[in-house]
Amino acid sequence: MAATMFDAPRLVITRPLLQARGLVKRYGRLTAVDGVDVTVYPGEMLGIVGESGSGKSTVLRLLNLEEATDGGEYYLDLPEYDGVNLFDLDRYHRREVRINQIGIVYQNPHLGLRMRTTSSGNVAERLIMAGERTFATLRRTARESLAVSEFPLDRMDDLPIRLSGGMQQRVQLAKAIALKPAALLLDEPTTGLDVSVQALVLDTLIRLRRELRIATVIVSHDLGVIRTLADRVMVMRRGCVVEQGLTDQVLDDPQHPYTQQLVHAKL
């Protein structure tokens, strides 16, 4: 659909909140991501699907500014970063963007949480990083954020290591949204959870998508999750996007041979 973006008249004139162009990432001779564009509008959830090694998680890590790119531009439509290619920022300012404007939920909670710091402390850390130094405010905001991600507040001071997988993901989510970021990145957020727990987490994500109006990118190999959550889908294969479009359109009327194969393998 990319070709039609420019010649068709446009109704929605909002600018994309998150826009990355020509992402490239190489590991030695392997090109993990090869010229990928990502565009997400406010309140929109973009799904990235593809098999293991297709580069979808690498795209997410690039968008999280946690790895250096080998090419590409990355913009967030925010007044303070107007026209600033985030890849050009130095380490200090990149950290500032990551703290204030990007939240991430990893598949593996060990990557996103301090297992031996209380759950509320994990959320409070975000606020501390942004400069908050009032204990009462830290408590209040951590509590609010955990409540939004539907974490049981009577357990807010438990260590994540004592929590179930679903609860750990909620703590990650609360931490990710604590500062109301522009972009929320979800890396297989429900993989490995029980089906019923998965449903609860999905429901929370749907509600957040509706309420927060942020740009969300979700990476998953589970097409059911993608169908439930994502507004649009990008299909990746060998570091490239082979197809993208509205979720139901890509899943119900896939155009590319690879997508057809993927969809039929999963349904």
Partner 1 sequence: MKLAELAAPRQDYSYGFLDAFAKRELRRRMLKAIAIPGYQVTYASRELPIARGWGTGGLQVTLSLAGPDDVLKVIDQGADDSVNAANLRRFIARMTGVATTTDACRATIIQSRHRVPEERLRERQALVLQVPDPEPLRHVEPNMSRAREMHADADYALMWLSLYEQLVRFKQFIGGASYPVMVHQRYLMSPSPIPRWDTPTLHQAPHLTLLSAGREKRLYAVPPYTDVYPIEFADVHFRVESQADRVCANTGAAHKYMDEVPQPDGTSLFRLSDTGYAEKLIKRLRGETVKIGPTYYDSNGEFYKPGYLKSRDGQDIEL
Partner 2 sequence: MTILHVHELSKRFHIHQIEREVAAFDWVSFTLHAGEFLLVRGPNGVGKSTLLRCLYRAYVPSAGQAMFTSTAGAIDLARAADVDIMWLRRSEIGNVSQFLRPRPRVSALDLVAEPLLLLGHDWETAQREAREWLAAFGLKPEIWSAYPATFSGGEQQKVNLARALIAPRRLLLLDEPTASLDAEARAALVERLGQLKARGVAMIGVFHHPEDVRGLIDNELYLAPPDSGSRRNGEEYANVAE
For partner 1, which stretch binds (CB under 8 A), given 38-46, 73-81, 102-110, 118-126? 118-126
Distances (CA, A) of 99 to 38, 69, 93, 111: 21, 19, 10, 16
User: Binding partner of residue 84 among partner 1, partner 2, none, CB under 5 to 8 Å per kind?
Assistant: none
Is position 7 an interface residue for partner 2 (rule: CB under 8 A)?
A: yes
Is position 191 an interface residue for partner 2 (rule: CB under 8 A)?
A: no
> Total residues contacting partner 1 (rule CB under 8 A)?
18
Is position 89 an interface residue for partner 1 (rule: CB under 8 A)?
A: no
SS3 267: coil
User: Binding partner of residue 52 among partner 1, partner 2, none, CB under 5 to 8 Å per kind?
Assistant: none
Can you tell me which of 125, 150, 187, 243 binds partner 1, judged by CB under 8 A?
Answer: 125
Spatial separation of the C-alpha atoms in residues 216 and 205, rounded to whole Å: 10
User: Binding partner of residue 138 among partner 2, partner 1, none, CB under 5 to 8 Å per kind?
Assistant: partner 1
Which positions from 146 to 185 touch partner 1 by CB under 8 A, shown as an x/- string? -----------x----------------------------
**Sign of the CA dihedral 173, 174, 176, 182?**
positive
Return the CA Rg of the chain.
18
Can you tell me which of 31, 118, 191, 249 binds partner 1, judged by CB under 8 A?
Answer: 118
**Backbone dihedral angles phi then psi of residue 80, each to the nearest 5 degrees:** -75, -15
Distances (CA, A) of 154 to 146, 158, 208: 11, 9, 22
Closest among 44, 33, 50 to 222, alpha carbons compared = 50
Spatial separation of the C-alpha atoms in residues 167 and 169, rounded to whole Å: 5
Can you tell me which of 200, 212, 240, 263 binds partner 2, judged by CB under 8 A?
Answer: 200
Is position 128 an interface residue for partner 2 (rule: CB under 8 A)?
A: no
Q: How far is the CB of 5 from partner 2 (least distance, A)?
A: 5
Give 162's DSSP letter. Answer: G
Closest among 185, 144, 190 to 168, alpha carbons compared = 190
Is position 1 an interface residue for partner 2 (rule: CB under 8 A)?
A: yes
Is position 202 an interface residue for partner 1 (rule: CB under 8 A)?
A: no
Scan for tokens 């004139």, then name that residue: 13
* Residues of the shown chain interacting with partner 2 in the complex, contacts defined by CB under 8 A: 1, 4-5, 7-12, 14, 41, 44, 195-196, 198-200, 202-203, 206, 210, 228, 231-232, 244-246, 248-249, 252-253, 255-257, 260-261, 264
